[in-house]
């Protein structure tokens, strides 16, 4: 064996020894089981900026950051399980993943089959307009668009009457907005911001609609959550530790702002469930 090879082997041995020692020294903040000891399996689908798949083994996004910080605090390695959106929740239900990410709503139905963390951020009604109209009063007398299927559509018809136009999908609504055939577009929090990143809505302003009792969805918007294996209370508590901290120190608001979203989305209020 040459002297050079001997030095390389010795160096690698020292690195491996140091790594093993670090792993042994790590003290988890909580005690709980995972599907694979020492690993946290996370079900992921592509939903920027909350859950993103960059390669087969690399993931990123706001929800991912929450999981990674939880894993670090509890001496776990994050293992991604890349799936379609339709398969994510079932992967936790069936025991193929410990946690699921991707801006899932806290709902009564979901609570029966998976664990729900504390609220992460809200999916508030968002206004897109030339002048940044963000109040119900400011929309009165103007043409207002929305996408078919939203829970608030019936209420919009009651408040704005014949001035409301429903679209089968957001792209057609945005096209009418850009050409002046529509004054205000009402959408969820994510679609307008991500559309603007692609060059759509270039000269339009995106704002959260201010709370107004005439439209209940503006008062109590849906809250997002991380999902985890039902009954794994220790894991749920560990995730909640992270969520509580990043709310309290402003980290989450900063992540949202950095991603191009309103930091007000971090103002979740008391935990609630979508019926």
Q: What is the pLDDT of residue 50?
A: 97
Residue 244 pLDDT more than 60? yes
Q: What is the pLDDT of residue 65?
A: 98
Q: What is the pLDDT of residue 23?
A: 52
19-44 pLDDT per residue, tens: 444 456 899 999 999 999 999 999 99
Give the whole-angstrom CA distance, residue 243 versus residue 227: 13
Of the pLDDT bands very low, low, confident and very high (cuts 50, 70, 90), residue 246 is very high
Question: What residues are paired with 73 via a beta bridge?
Answer: none
Give the whole-angstrom CA distance, residue 200 versus residue 192: 9
The residue-averaged pLDDT of 173-188 equals 96
The residue-averaged pLDDT of 160-175 equals 96
Q: What is the pLDDT of residue 233?
A: 98
Structure tokens given for 12 = 């690698």
Report all structural domains of the chain as residue ranges with CATH numbers, in order of start.
29-122+222-266 (3.40.190.10), 126-219 (3.40.190.10)
Place of tokens 């809200």: 122
The residue-averaged pLDDT of 44-60 equals 89
Structure tokens given for 262 = 């309103």
Structure tokens given for 33 = 């089981």
% of the chain at pLDDT higher than 90: 88
Q: What is the pLDDT of residue 2?
A: 47
Residue 6 pLDDT more than 70? no
Q: What is the pLDDT of residue 24?
A: 65
Structure tokens given for 106 = 């806290």
> What's the half-sphere exposure (Cβ side, CA atoms, 13 Å) at 194?
12
pTM (predicted TM-score):
0.85
Higher pLDDT, 140 or 11: 140
The residue-averaged pLDDT of 67-81 equals 97
Question: What residues are paired with 156 via a beta bridge?
Answer: none
């Amino acid at each position: 064996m040459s002297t050079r090879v001997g030095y390389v082997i010795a160096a690698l041995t020292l690195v491996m020894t140091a790594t093993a020692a670090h792993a042994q020294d790590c003290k988890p903040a909580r005690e709980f089981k995972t599907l694979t000891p020492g690993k946290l399996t996370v079900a992921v689908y592509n939903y920027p900026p909350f859950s993103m798949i960059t390669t087969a083994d690399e993931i990123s996004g706001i929800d991912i950051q929450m999981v990674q910080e939880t894993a670090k605090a509890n001496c776990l390695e994050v293992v991604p399980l890349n799936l379609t959106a339709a398969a994510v929740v079932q992967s936790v239900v069936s025991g193929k993943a410990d946690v699921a990410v991707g801006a899932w709503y806290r709902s009564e139905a979901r609570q029966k089959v998976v664990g729900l963390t504390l609220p992460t951020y809200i999916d508030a009604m968002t206004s897109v307009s030339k002048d940044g109209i963000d109040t119900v009063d400011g929309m009165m007398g103007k043409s207002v668009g929305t996408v078919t299927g939203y829970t608030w559509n019936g209420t919009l018809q009651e408040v704005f009457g014949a001035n409301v136009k429903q679209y089968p999908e957001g792209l057609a609504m945005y096209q009418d907005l850009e050409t002046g055939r529509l004054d205000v577009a009402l959408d969820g929090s994510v679609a307008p911001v991500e559309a603007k990143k692609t060059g759509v809505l270039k000269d339009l302003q995106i704002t959260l609609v201010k709370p107004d009792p005439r439209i209940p969805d503006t008062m109590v918007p849906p809250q997002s959550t991380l999902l985890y294996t039902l009954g794994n209370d220790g894991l749920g508590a560990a995730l909640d530790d992270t969520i509580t901290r990043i709310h309290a120190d402003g980290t989450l608001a900063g992540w949202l702002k950095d991603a191009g979203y309103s930091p007000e989305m971090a103002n979740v209020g008391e935990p609630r469930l979508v019926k």
